[in-house]
Amino acid sequence: MPLAPPVFFQFESDFVESLRCIPMVVRFKLDTCGIKLKLEHWHRFTEGDRQQLVHLPCETAQDVATYRHDVSDLVLQYTQTPASDLLIEDHPAWLNSLNIPDSVLSKADSVGTHLTLEQWQALVPLQRFALIKLSRSSHENRNFLPALQEFGY
């Protein structure tokens, strides 16, 4: 099975070497395959398991099904309980280049910057995903401004 190259963001640099936190690339794949993975589950996985989840592709329907199966198996193996499902959005906001989510606009405003539609459209889906996740009130969003800066804004 071919492995996809990992995409780590600079704002994640304090933890990606050790993978002590779930990197955005894995969170993106989890949202794509519909699995809710808790940090406590992630910590139970071996370094090899974590690396595998970073590198495995999750783009085609077959990739997504395989990724979901692999994550579910790992959660069950290490916790003896099934993984929780996550709603898979039919039209996720990170794939919509024509509309900037209000949470992203509000967060950008709160850090003293403005994100234009042209800038939003220039981002790849993983970058949009990161900004959406980092702008949610339920997320520790100290990395929102570093992410914007990393993306050139």
Residue holding tokens 């405003």?
A: 109
Question: pLDDT tens, position by position, for the chain (153 residues)?
Answer: 455 556 799 999 888 778 989 999 999 999 999 999 999 999 999 999 999 999 999 999 999 999 999 999 999 999 999 999 999 999 999 999 999 999 999 999 999 999 999 999 999 999 999 999 999 876 566 899 999 999 998
Q: Are 70 and 53 in contact (CB under 8 A)?
A: yes
pTM: 0.90
User: Closest by alpha carbon to 59, among 116, 144, 108, 2?
Assistant: 2
